C-alpha cells in the first residue's frame, strides 16, 4: 500500500497568484499522477510525473500553467500558476503501488 500526504489540504488564493501543492509518499514509487476534480465533477488526469524525466501532460493541460517537479521517488509538486476562479478545484496526487492506485486526501483550492 501507499500513504500519501498532500499540503496544503485547502487554501484560498487571490486571482493572478500561484500556489504549489506538495505530495509526499511513504514509499518509493515510479509513477505519480496529478488529477483535478472540479466542483461536482469527476476526476480529470492532468499529468503523469516520472522521476528523472519531464512530466507528460494530458490534452488541455500545459506545463506553463501546471508546472510539475519530481525530484525523487517519494515526492512531487504541482504548481497552479496565474490562478483564476476557474482553477478552483480539488487537486489530487495519486500513485500506483501494489497493483492499486492510491490517492491523497486532495488539496482544495478556492480562487477569489
**Per CB under 8 A, 48 contacts other proteins:** yes
Query: Cis (ω within 30 of 0) for the bond into 8?
Result: yes
Work out how close the CB of 15 gets to other proteins at its nearest, in angstroms, rounded to a whole number: 26
For residue 55, the minimal CB distance to other proteins (Å) is 12
38 sits near other proteins (criterion: CB under 8 A): no
- What is the spatial distance between Cα 50 and Cα 71, in angstroms, rounded to a whole number? 9
| 44 interacts with other proteins by CB under 8 A | yes
> Near other proteins by CB under 8 A, which window of 10-18, 20-28, 33-41, 60-68?
33-41
CA nearest neighbour of 85 among 8, 21, 15, 9: 15
Sign of CA dihedral 53, 58, 63, 69: negative
**Residues whose CB is less than 8 angstroms from the CB of residue 58 and which lie 6 or more positions away in sequence, other chains included:** 44, 45, 46, 47
Among 22, 31, 81, 110, which residue interacts with other proteins (rule: CB under 8 A)? 31
- Scan residues 92-111 and list those touching other proteins (CB under 8 A): 92, 96, 99-101, 103-106
Q: Is 41 in the site for other proteins (CB under 8 A)?
A: yes
Q: Which residues bind other proteins (CB under 8 A)?
A: 31, 33, 35, 41-45, 48, 58, 92, 96, 99-101, 103-106
Amino acid at each position: 500500500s501507499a500513504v500519501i500526504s498532500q499540503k496544503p489540504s485547502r487554501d484560498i488564493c487571490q486571482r493572478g497568484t500561484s500556489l504549489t501543492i506538495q505530495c509526499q509518499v511513504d514509499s518509493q514509487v515510479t509513477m505519480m499522477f496529478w488529477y483535478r476534480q472540479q466542483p461536482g465533477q469527476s476526476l480529470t488526469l492532468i499529468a503523469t510525473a516520472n522521476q528523472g524525466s519531464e512530466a507528460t501532460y494530458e490534452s488541455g493541460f500545459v506545463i506553463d500553467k501546471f508546472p510539475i517537479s519530481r525530484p525523487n521517488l517519494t515526492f512531487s509538486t504541482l504548481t497552479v500558476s496565474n490562478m483564476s476562479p476557474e482553477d478552483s478545484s480539488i487537486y489530487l496526487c495519486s500513485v500506483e503501488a501494489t497493483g492499486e492506485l492510491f490517492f491523497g486526501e486532495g488539496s482544495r483550492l478556492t480562487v477569489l
